[in-house]
Amino acid sequence: MKLVHLFGTRRFSVVFSVKRFKACVSSMKVFTQKRNPITGSTEWDVQDENYDFHQEIARAGFADMLHDTERNKKYQRALQLAIEKMHSDGKKANVLDIGTGTGLLSIMAVRSGADSVTACEAFKPMAECCAKILEINGVADKIKLIPKRSTDVTVGEDGDMTERANILVTEVFDTELIGEGALSTFAHAHKCLLEPDCIVVPDSAVIYAQVVECPTLWKWNKLNDLSDADLDIVLKTPQKMIDCPGSAAVHDLQLSQLPRNTFRELSDQIPVFYYDWSGRTPIIMKRTVKQDFTVSGTGKAQVVFMWWELNMDTEGKIILSCAPWWTHPDADLASERPQDSIPWRDHWMQAVYYLPQTTNLEKEKEATLISCQDEYSLWFYIETEELKRQSYKRPNCECGVHMALSRTHVSYLNDGRRSKKFLEQLKEEINNESVVLDFNGSSLMGLAAAKLGAKAVYIQEGLNLNLGILQDYISANNLENIHFISELTDEVLSQVTNVITDPNFPSAILPWENLKVAYLLYQYRSRLSNCVSVIPSSCEIWAMPVEFQDLHKISIPLGRCEGIDMAVFDGLVEVSNSRNISDADIEAQPLWEYPCKCRGEPVQLLSIDFSNLKPAYAMDGICEVRKPIKDEEQIVNGFALWVVWNIGGPQSTGPIVPPEVGQRVAWDPHTRQAVKIFKKSYDATMPFKWKYQAVCDLSKGQFNVDIDLVLE
C-alpha cells in the first residue's frame, strides 16, 4: 500500500488491532480487539468502521516526507528535465506515476508540461483523497487516476493505459532502499508499462556501506555479562547468545545524532550496490558482492552503517543523499553542529546492520566486505586473510534473544548505569531467607536475586521464548531455587518477602505502560505480607514543554506543498487524529535521536508510592512558564513525558541530566519517551501557561493523561 511510500515508516507505531467485526447497527461501527499492556488482558472497543485506515494515517508520520523540500524540488527538477528531453527529441512526454499518494508528483508533471499523466494508487481511501486534491488544484482532467497496483495495470486499446509511458516517476523507497519492493516494481514497469527508451525519475541509486567499531550500538544487539558496581560478574552471558549470528533485520537510526566519540571508522564509505532504474541494464533480485578495502583504523568490526543516494537525472547532476553528516556532500563541517546543516528526514534514515561475528581489523591491512542482497533486504559479512566464511546465508537468531526482545529492550538490559543501581539495592535487601517474586520474565533481576543468595525466586512468565532465555542463563550460571509460574497461588504469595520487578516490560510502548508492576501489586496486595519489600519503591510521571528541532514535521499540516493545495489531505489527517477515531495523540519516540530544547521547567504530574497503593490517582494543574532570560525568538511545539522510578534513588527514563530551560535536552537512549506534537508552533518569548490532567486507575489497569497549552 502506498501509505508507507508517501508517509515514511515510523518506528514504534504499533496498533494492537487484531480482529474487526461489523456491528449490526446503522452507523456501521466495528469492534476492535486491543491488548491492554498494563493488565495484559484483551479488551473489546467500538470504533468507526474506518478505524484501521485512520490509525494508519494518524500514526504514519506522513508530513516529514512532504515537508522534505530538498526531495520535492529535486524530483520536480528531474521531472522538468525528463519532459524537456522528450520534447527536444520530438516526442510527447507521457508520464506514469506509480504509487501517487497525494498526487504531488503527478501535479508536478502536469505543471512541467507533460502531454499526458497517468497515476496509479492501490489504497482506495488514498486514491479517493488524491482525486479530490487533483480536483481542487484544477488538474483532474489532465491526470488519469487508476485505483490499482502498478502490477495490475493493463496497457492496450481497452486497457487502463492506451499506450506505454516514456517517463516514469515514482518514490517506492525506504531506509533500506529496496524494502518496499522497489526491485519488483521497477522490473515489472519496464516489462509491461514503459517504452524501451524511457526516462525514469530517479534514474539510478547507489548504496554505501561503512565498517565501524561501535560498542554503544553493539549493546543494542548482544547481551553483555551482568556486572555490579565493582565490575564483578553477577550473571555470565550464555555462550549460545555470544555465538548467535543475530538477526539481519535492519536497525534504522538517525545516525547523525550518534556522538562521534562512540564509534571508530574502520573503512571509508564503500559503494556496494548500484541500481539502474532506467532499464538500460537488468535489475538483479539476488546477488552477493565482494569488495576488498584497506582498513582505515585498528579496531573490532562490529557494525556496518548503510545509506544511499539517488541520481535523479540521466546525467547524474541532481543527487539526493541520505548520508550521515560526516560524509554528506552538503554538510558544513566547520559549523558548531554540522549535523544540523544537512536536510532532515525521518522517512529515509540511515541503517545499521550488526555483523554476525565481530572481527579484529588492523590499520593499513586488507579486508573484504561481503554485501548480500535479496529482493527486499541486505546483510553483510567481513573476511580477512585469516578468516574465511563457509557461506553467506542470511543471519537468523539461534539464541531467542533477537526474536523475543526488541533492540531497545536489549540495550536497556545492557545499561550498566541502571542495572548497577538495581543490583546495589538487591544486595541491601536480599539474604538467604528471602523469597523473591519477579513479575518481569524479560529481565535478569530475578536470576540475579537467586545468584545473590535468595532462598527461592518465583518468576511470573508464560512466554516460551523468554523462558528459554532464562533457562539458558540458569544453566550457564548454575542457578538453583528458581521457579517459573504463569499464575500466582496463595501458597506462593504468602511466602514472598521481596517483590522485585525491572520496570521495562516488552509489551510497553508508552512509558507509563510499565505501571504494570503497580497494577499487579495492587491486585495481589491483600494476599501479600504487609511487610513485603518492593523494588522499585515508587514512580513519578513527569512532563515539560519543548521545542522540537525537526520531529514536529511528522505531524504539522501541509497547507501548500510546492505551491500545491493539500488542504484535503490535511483534513483527512485531522479527522484521523481526532480522539474519536485514532489514539495517536501521544506517541512514543526515542528522543535521543530527535534534538529538542527545554521550554519550561519539568513538572511532576503524578506520584505513586508502591508501599501504600490506592485504587486510583488523579492530578491536574496549570503551570506557568516565565519569560525567558534571553531576548531571542523562541517557540514551543510539543510536550515530552517520561517516568522516574525509585530504585535506590531516582532512575529517569527521560532526561539523564536535569534539563535547563532554553538548552538542549540529553535523553536516555535505552528507553522511549512519550511526545505530544502541536499542529502548529507557538511563541515562547513571552510567558505562557500549560495544563495537564493525569489519571491512574490501578483497579482497572488504566492510565490517561491530557496535556495542552492554555491558549488565551
| CB-based burial label for 570 (10 Å; 0-12, 13-18, 19+) | middle
Rounded Cα distance between 619 and 604, Å, is 10
Largest Cα separation within the chain, whole Å, is 91
Active-site option among 121, 171, 213, 309: 171
Q: Which of 56, 121, 176, 180 is catalytic?
A: 180
The whole-angstrom separation of Cα 624 and Cα 686 is 11
Residue 483, classified by CB atoms within 10 Å of its CB into exposed (0-12), middle (13-18) or buried (19+), is exposed
Ramachandran assignment for 197, one of left (phi > 0), alpha (psi -120 to 50 degrees), beta (any other): alpha
Check residue 155 and report its DSSP letter. B
Q: Give yes or no: 633 in active site.
A: no
Catalytic (active site) residue 180: yes
| C-alpha span between 248 and 654 (Å, rounded) | 30
**Residue 104, all three cell numbers:** 504531488
Report CA 53 to chain centroid distance, whole Å.
20
Q: CB under 8 Å to 100, separation ≥6 — which residues? A: 2, 106, 119, 120, 121, 130, 145
- What Å distances lie between residue 481 and 226, 569, 585, 639, CA to CA? 19, 60, 45, 46
Contact 598, 661 (CB under 8 A): yes
CA distance 412 to 418: 8
Are 438 and 535 a contacting pair, CB within 8 Å? no
CA distance linking residue 534 with residue 610, whole number of Å: 7
CA 549 to chain centre: 18
Order across the sheet with 688-697: list the strands: 616-625, 688-697, 702-710
DSSP run (H or E) holding 457 = strand 456-460
DSSP secondary structure letter of residue 664: B
Burial label, 257 (beta-carbon count in 10 A; 0-12, 13-18, 19+): middle
Secondary structure class of 62 (helix, strand, coil): coil
Q: Distance of alpha carbon 282 from its chain centroid, rounded?
A: 33
C-alpha–C-alpha distance, residues 626 and 233, integer Å: 49
Q: Which residue do the cell numbers 536497525 mark?
A: 251
Residues forming the active site: 171, 180
